[in-house]
Structure formats: structure tokens, C-alpha cells
Structure 1
Amino acid sequence: MDHEVFHVHDPRTLKAVAHPLRVLLLGELRTNGPATATELAGRLGESSGSTSYHLRQLVRYGFVEADPGQRDRRERRWRAIHRFTAWSDVEMAATAEGREAAAFLRRRQLEKLTADVENFERERDLWSEAWAEAAGMSDLVVRLSPATVTYLYERMSAMLLEAAERDRDDPDARPVAVLLAAHPRRDPAAGHG
């Protein structure tokens, strides 16, 4: 992928990816690399006509492109351009379209996390003891400022990318979903905002 993060500023662009099939297609390309519309259709249980249409929409809005390393001129392979999509919630909140798209993508992240946790729990006995011990969640509640939360997001993202690079060729490495979430809680004594 050419760029790490696609910073979306236009609500229409965010809305374009905030479609159930498009977000799945983009996720597949980011996770598993370049693929044809037909391959993606098979993985997702969709028609190739549907995946072709939605891939063209992702191309139109700058999320996906034709893979320059095509294996065969007869097949069109697509690839994600960026590893991540980011946006400003304040910027998106300026329009109903932006608020709706951002809310959809946040819900999608939660749905994906829930599915990953449920799949792991169902398959726990199939994983090694090392993976069974390493997998999990934490729910620490600490007092932080907005600036520190922003710093933590940036630092954690950098650390995760460094760790992924370190483990790139490790035969024990597997795709791991890491979700970092931070939401303030109301503090009746201190007010909020």
C-alpha cells in the first residue's frame, strides 16, 4: 500500500465507504491483499456484479485502485491504497451526512470486534496455549485529557505498526484485531465537556 492513512475530509467520501458491502470489500483488500471482484464475491457470498460495482465506487472515492502488479492481463485485481481510514468527528459532525457515515463506521468497528471475540471464544480450544493466554481485553478507566488521548492513539498506532513489522516473517504470527477505544465518562463532581 502506498500510504498508511487516508484522512477523509469530505462527508461524501466517508459516506461512500460507509456502505455494508464496501466496508467489507475494503477490509478484505486491506487484510488479505489484492483480489479480483470474483474472488471477493466468493469470500463474501455476493455476486461478482455487485462486488464489481462497489469496487468501482471505492475506486471513485480513492480507497481502492487497480493492482499495478497484475498477474494476468485478463483478470483485473484490485488493491487497497491505504492501510487505514481516519476522519475528524468534529469535521464530520458539521453535516447530517457526515454524522451518519461516521456513526455507521463506529458501529461497524464494534460489530467486527464483537464477531472477532465471539469467533475466538467458539474456537478457543483450537488455539495454542500461548494464543489462549495472549488474547483478551482490558477495560482500564483512567483520568486523561483530550490531548493525552490523542497522543495515546498516535503512539499506540505507531507501536502496533512497529510490532507488525517485527513479526512480519514470524511463523507464529497471525492476523490480530486490535481495537483501541477511548470515551469519556461523565463525572458529576467535575461536570463534562
Structure 2
Amino acid sequence: MDHEVFHVDDPRILKAVAHPLRTRLLGELRANGPATATELAGRLGESSGATSYHLRQLARYGFLEADPDRRDRRERRWRAIHRFTSWSDVEMAATAEGREAAAFPRRRQLEKLTADVENFERECDLWSEAWVEAAGMSDVVVRLSPATVASLYERVSAMLLEAAERDRDDPDARPVAVVLAAHPRRDPAAGHG
């Protein structure tokens, strides 16, 4: 990928990726590299016509591009341009359209997390004891400032990229969904905001 982060500041661009199939297509290309519409259709259980249309829309809004390293001249392979998409919730909150556009990715992340947990639980007996022991979730409530939470996101992201590089050639490595969420809770004694 040419760039690490695509910072979106236009709600229309964020809404363009909000379509469920577009989200899945972009995720698939980011995780597994370049592919054709037909290959993606097979992986995602969609028609190649649908994947082709939505890939073109993602390209139109700057998320994808044609892969210059084609295997042959007839095929059109797509690749993600950026590893991550980011936006400012404060900027998006300035308009109703922006609030709606920013809400979709959060809901999609929750849906994906739920599906990943349910799939793992359903297929638990197919995984090694090491994976069963390593997988899971935890939650901790601590008092933090907004600046510390922002720093925590940056540090965890850097650690994940370092770990992925370290495990790149490890035969036991598998795709792992890591979700970090931080939301303040109201503190009746101290107020909020």
C-alpha cells in the first residue's frame, strides 16, 4: 500500500465506504492484497457484477486503485491504497450527514466483533489449545484523560504493526481481529465532559 492512513474530512467520502459490501471489499483487499472482482465475489459469496460496481465506487472515492502488477493484460486487479481510514469525529459531528456517516463504521465494527466472537465460539474445537487459550476479550475501567486515550491508540497500533512484522513468516500466525475501544463513562461525583 502506498500510504498508511487515508484521513477523510468529507462526510460524502465516508458514506461511500459505509455500504456493507464496500466495507467488506476494502477489508479483504487490505488484509489479503490485490484481487479481481471475480476473486472477491467468490470469497465473499457475492456476484462479480456487484463486486465490480462497488470496487469502482471505492476507487472513485480514493480508497482503491487498479493494481499495476497485473498477472495478465486482460484482468483488472484492485488494491487498497491505504492501510487505514481515519476521520475526526468532531469534524463529522458538525453536520447531521457527518454524524450519520461516522456512526456506520462504529456499528459495522461492533457487528464484525460480534460475528468474530460467535464464529470462534462455534468453531472452538477446530483451533489448537494454544489459540483457544490466547483468544479472548477483557475489559478494564481506568481513569484516563483524552490525551492519554489518544496516545494509547497510537502506541497499541504501533505495537500491533511491529508484532505483525515479527510474525509475518511464522507458520502458526493467523489473521487476528484486534479491537481497541475506549469510551468514557459518566462519573456522577465529578461531572462529565
Give the TM-score range, shorter chain. over 0.9
> Residue deviations 1:138-172, cap 9 Å, x none?
10000000000000000000000000000011111
> Residue deviations 1:5-43, cap 9 Å, x none?
111111111011011111111011111111111111122
> Residue deviations 1:127-147, cap 9 Å, x none?
111111110111000000000
| Superposed displacement of residue 47, structure 1 | 1.6
In 2, Cα distance between equivalents of 1:50 and 1:132: 36
Q: CA RMSD in A?
A: 0.8
| Superposed displacement of residue 3, structure 1 | 1.2
> Residue deviations 1:30-89, cap 9 Å, x none?
111111111111222222111111111100111001011111111100011111111110
In 2, Cα distance between equivalents of 1:97 and 1:50: 25
In 2, Cα distance between equivalents of 1:97 and 1:30: 27
In 2, Cα distance between equivalents of 1:21 and 1:164: 26
In 1, Cα distance between equivalents of 2:41 and 2:96: 31
Q: What secondary structure does 2:155 align onto?
A: helix
Q: What secondary structure does 2:107 align onto?
A: helix
| Superposed displacement of residue 98, structure 1 | 1.3
| Superposed displacement of residue 181, structure 1 | 0.1
> Residue deviations 1:94-149, cap 9 Å, x none?
11121111101100000001111111111111111111111011100000000000
Following TM superposition, the consecutive aligned residue runs of length 4 or more in structure 1 with deviations greater than 6 angstroms are none
Structure 1, unmatched stretches of 5+, are none
In 2, Cα distance between equivalents of 1:80 and 1:16: 15
Q: What secondary structure does 1:85 align onto?
A: strand
Scaled by the length of structure 2, the TM-score of the pair is 0.98
In 1, Cα distance between equivalents of 2:121 and 2:4: 31
Match of 2:158 in 1: 158
In 1, Cα distance between equivalents of 2:36 and 2:96: 34
The within-5 A match list for 1:17-36 is 17-36=17-36
